[in-house]
Amino acid sequence: MRDDGALRLRWFPYAVIAVLLAVLAAGTAVNLDRNPQPQLVAEGITGRSGPVEIEPPVDSADLARPELIRDALADLDALTLPGGATLAGWDGPWRFVWPRDASFVAAARCSVGQYAEADKILGFLDKIRPSAGRWGARYSAPDGKEVADGREPQLDGSGWVLWATWFCAETKRQAAGRSGAEAVTLSTGAPLSQYWAMVKESGDQIVAELGDDDLPAASPDYWERSESKVTLGTIAPLITGLRSGLRIAAALDRSTEVASWQHALERLSKATDDKFGPSYPRTPAEAVSYLEPGVEPIGIGGGADAIVTVLGPPFAPARDVATKAIETTRHALTQPNGGVTPGEEWRTDGVSWTPQTALFALSAAARGDRSTAEELLAWLNTHRTATGSLPEKVNRDLKPAGEAPLAWTTALVVLTASALDHPLPTP
């Protein structure tokens, strides 16, 4: 007599597996339909027909890096208009000036000694600075008018402008081998006091934004979307900005601002540690899990965010808790294609974003983790466009996608290479 029950038992696991595979395939198809492969917007900047030809240095262990940086600086040259307006990208919706991107480009220029070029960028930012209130999300070029496209102002601009202004002054001071009172007169080719109005307005605005909980209210950040909760993408740049502003105020003997900004920095730093630590997610954890005595509690919710890198060098002094959060976040956000996604709450499409990948490269280089920095820099170099530009994204097929060149990524790559060559100043 045939045992049909036994036969069904033998085939049942295979049937279950087949059903599960079908469900997974259907889910993958739906996800691919909702998140199609991004493609390259344009093949670099008009007039840049290919990578810049240079003689490789015979004494360099990394023969690819000089060409990468030469191409990056050529793209920054093209993206910076004569009056100092620095475009985020060459095409369409990127062809505007974001204070965030422009600040990074100024810092990158200073990291390689291009002080005159950086001064043009800072001068443009100084020209368009808000007399009161937040920096706009973006400005038109070359006239510098705030773009009225429905985007809310972004508070992080106040922090980035302060950081770039101090970074350039300190970079030149270090390069010149000077110290003390002489540092006050060393900026990007002009007296540091020239930018005091911009510095003061940005620093005072940060102070004004802090609420009863010592944190700012919700504001859009580099994710370019409205937020219902305050994000680390706003807070981290503000901490860096206040640190930098304090250094400038002290150098210029502005005692009133030193006292005000120092108090604000202490409030903001403590509140950030209390509400976001120890993992520093994008938004404060919704709950905390206490595993067992002696084991560090784990925050639940909030989602990892690549901006955690700004809590460490070269944006802030190194701390063990921040370093651990940075390294944990990088592993959490690394995609199958080798780069990283902006955050855990970003769309799940397997696409890597180059600014965030470059942020982790810069963070590693500034913290002395050369192997990680060189690995990520090599990945970015490998996925440039045919004209040698750094794109906004790398899709699942390992092809460049989005805008190319992207000023923020390009500036971060220059800063990373500089950090591998010599220590960058940290406020």
Question: DSSP H helical segments within 277-406, as ranges?
Answer: 320-333, 354-366, 370-382
Residue whose token pair is 């368009």: 128
Element (H, E) at 300: strand 298-300
Give φ, ψ of 353 to 5 degrees: -110, 130
pLDDT of residue 300: 65
pLDDT of residue 192: 81
186: domain range? Answer: 96-276
Please indicate, yes or no, whether the overall pTM of this predicted structure exceeds 0.85. Answer: yes
What tokens were used for 143? 């006239």
pLDDT of residue 54: 42
User: What are the angstrom distances between the C-alpha of 99 and each of 124, 290, 407?
Assistant: 10, 41, 12
> What DSSP state is assigned to residue 198?
H
The whole-angstrom separation of Cα 339 and Cα 195 is 37
Residue whose token pair is 């540091």: 192
pLDDT of residue 61: 43
399, part of any domain: no
Got the DSSP string for 97-119? B-HHHHHHHHHHHHHTT-HHHHH
Q: Please, what's the largest Cα pairwise distance for the chain?
A: 101
pLDDT of residue 152: 87
10 Å CB burial of residue 335 (0-12, 13-18, 19+) is: middle
Residue 400, beta-bridge partner list: 394
The whole-angstrom separation of Cα 308 and Cα 329 is 8
The whole-angstrom separation of Cα 419 and Cα 423 is 5
CB 410 within 8 A of CB 370: no
pLDDT of residue 11: 59
Give φ, ψ of 224 to 5 degrees: 55, 50
369, part of any domain: no
Q: Give me the torsion for CA of 41, 43, 48, 54, rounded to 10°.
A: 120
318, part of any domain: no
185, part of any domain: yes
What tokens were used for 103? 């600040």
Instruction: Supply the CATH number for residue 102's domain.
Output: 1.50.10.10
User: What are the angstrom distances between the C-alpha of 44 and each of 117, 132, 378, 401?
Assistant: 21, 37, 20, 11
402 conformational bin, left if phi > 0, alpha if psi -120 to 50, beta if neither: left
pLDDT of residue 187: 45
CB 269 within 8 A of CB 239: yes
The whole-angstrom separation of Cα 334 and Cα 329 is 9
Mean pLDDT of successive 10-residue stretches along the chain, which has 427 residues = 51 55 49 72 69 46 76 96 96 95 98 95 96 90 92 93 96 74 45 90 97 96 94 98 97 96 98 96 78 60 92 98 98 97 94 98 98 97 95 96 97 98 96
- Give the length of the chain: 427
350, part of any domain: no
Q: How many CB atoms lie within 10 A of CB 414?
A: 26
Q: Give me the torsion for CA of 132, 122, 43, 355, rounded to 10°.
A: -70
pLDDT of residue 178: 46
Overall number of domains in the chain: 1
410, part of any domain: no
173, part of any domain: yes
> What DSSP state is assigned to residue 94?
G
Q: Give me the torsion for CA of 261, 263, 268, 273, rounded to 10°.
A: 130
26, part of any domain: no
Q: List CB contacts of 128: < 8 A, sequence separation 6 or more.
A: 97, 139, 144, 146
